[in-house]
Amino acid sequence: MINFDLKCDQGHGFNSWFQSSAAFDSLSSAGHVSCPACGSTVVEKALMAPRVRPSRSAAAPQAASEDASTSTVPSRPAERPLSRPSSEAEAALSELRRRVEENATYVGDTFATEARAIHDGTKPDRPIYGEAKPEEARALIEEGVPVLPLPFATGRKTN
């Protein structure tokens, strides 16, 4: 697959993937390649800079020579360790999750039943978190049970 930079006769630039250069030529001559901005089918390849990656051995010394104290969070997620937040919002969510998990009991999918029992006084008052179906959450709110959705996935394992 080749990603071509293209431009139409109206001057709009865009890019698209093609199986090969011949595939682009064939599709373009048949009028099947069109500009997403204006719909023109008069499209040609634009001048492109080559995308050449250095070998792993050539890239390693450069990365090792960088001073860690002056480095910033990389712009691409693949270069950033997964354990480090990339923004203030992610850091705040991470801190919120840590505090919830530290100070509340995870009750899983029995959340609605537990929250209702705590509200009714049949179970001891304690902070809890878990999962609830949307209908269950609506019913809790309508009954006056103080609940809030969490802005992150809970501790349930998904795989």
Domain end (from 13, 30, 45) = 45
**Contact 15/26 with Cβ under 8 angstroms?**
no
> Would 95 be classed as within a structural domain?
yes
Structural domain of residue 123, as residue ranges?
Answer: 88-142
> Would 154 be classed as within a structural domain?
no
Q: How many domains does the chain have?
A: 2
Condensed to tens digits (0 to 9), the pLDDT of residues 22-35 reads 999 999 899 899 98
For the chain, the residue count is: 159
Total-model pTM? 0.45
**Residue written as tokens 């450069």?**
62
> Would 92 be classed as within a structural domain?
yes
> Would 53 be classed as within a structural domain?
no
> Would 66 be classed as within a structural domain?
no
Which residues does the chain have with pLDDT short of 50?
A: 64, 67-80, 159
> Would 99 be classed as within a structural domain?
yes
